[in-house]
Amino acid sequence: MTTNGDGDADPTRRAATGPPAGRRRRDPEASRGAILDAARAELNAHGYSRMTIRRVAARAGVTHGLVMRHFGTKERLFLAAIPGPQRLGAALAGDPATLPERIARAYVDRMETADADDPFVALIRSAAANDPTATRLYSAMQEHSRAAYRDVLDGPDVDARVDLIAAVLLGVTFSRYVIREGAVAAMAPATLAEHLTALLRPVVLPASGTAPGD
């Protein structure tokens, strides 16, 4: 357990929205916001169980006591820091024939733009550690996405296929955004989208490929 070695220190102090501060800014909303931003960053970097309130406080430029005052417990801070997943239903609607491509594009677009503090990576990290709170939230979030896919999928075995889509995207996410190593992590977004399209086609449109038995 060496000392430390990741992340960046705060620029001046109170990293988030707010005017440059002297000391004891006394601005509860700004503090709350800074704490939440810091929590999201720490969550992304370490997952729930290794995110410490003191580190969140330090990153936000406040004391850990203030974090407790605002959020009470670590779990409540966690829940407050995780934003709800943005809707992807809209991006999926359209011609069924090009659905694989749209799923791939929607995924890549989302991950590539919102990477900085997307809760998905944080939740994967947390859920992997077998943390009950994180696992619960992760499942809820996955179910949300699955519902969107379920709406647009057609044919047999919808549940299984929806879950397979989710699994594929999960694997790519893990490889590209969590481990960040290997060809999947290195390829350009457009290339990734192309590969994903090809990969998803047989699951999204089982008729055009080989349908897996009974």
Point out which residues bind its own copies (CB under 8 A): 45-47, 49-50, 124-125, 127-130, 135, 138-139, 142, 146, 159-164, 166-176, 178-179, 181-184, 187, 191, 194-195, 197-199, 201-203, 206, 209-214
- The 3-class secondary structure across the chain, one letter per residue, is CCCCCCCCCCCCCCCCCCCCCCCCCCCHHHHHHHHHHHHHHHHHHHCCCCCCHHHHHHHHCCCHHHHHHHHCCHHHHHHHHCCCCCCCHHHHCCCHHHHHHHHHHHHHHHHHHCHHHCHHHHHHHHHHCCCHHHHHHHHHHHHHHHHHHHHHCCCCCHHHHHHHHHHHHHHHHHHHHHHCCCHHHHCCHHHHHHHHHHHHHHHHCCCCCCCCCC
Q: What are phi and psi of 76, to 5 degrees?
A: -65, -35
Task: Supply the minimum distance, in Å, between the C-beta of residue 14 and its own copies.
Answer: 26
Question: Using CB under 7 A, which of the segments 61-69, 79-87, 121-129, 194-202 binds DNA?
Answer: 61-69
Among 63, 86, 98, 191, binds DNA (CB under 7 A): 63
Q: Is 64 in the site for DNA (CB under 7 A)?
A: yes
Which of its own copies, DNA, none does 144 bind, CB closer than 5 to 8 A by kind?
none
Task: Supply the minimum distance, in Å, between the C-beta of residue 179 and DNA.
Answer: 23
Which lies closer to DNA via its Cβ, residue 58 or residue 114? 58
Q: Is 80 in the site for DNA (CB under 7 A)?
A: no
From CA 80, how far away is CA 82, in angstroms rounded? 6
Question: Using CB under 7 A, which of the segments 54-62, 91-99, 149-157, 173-181 binds DNA?
Answer: 54-62
Q: Is 62 in the site for DNA (CB under 7 A)?
A: yes
From CA 101, how far away is CA 107, in angstroms rounded? 10
Q: Is 203 in the site for DNA (CB under 7 A)?
A: no
Question: Using CB under 7 A, which of the segments 50-58, 104-112, 183-191, 196-204 binds DNA?
Answer: 50-58
Q: Is 55 in the site for DNA (CB under 7 A)?
A: yes
Q: Is 54 in the site for DNA (CB under 7 A)?
A: yes
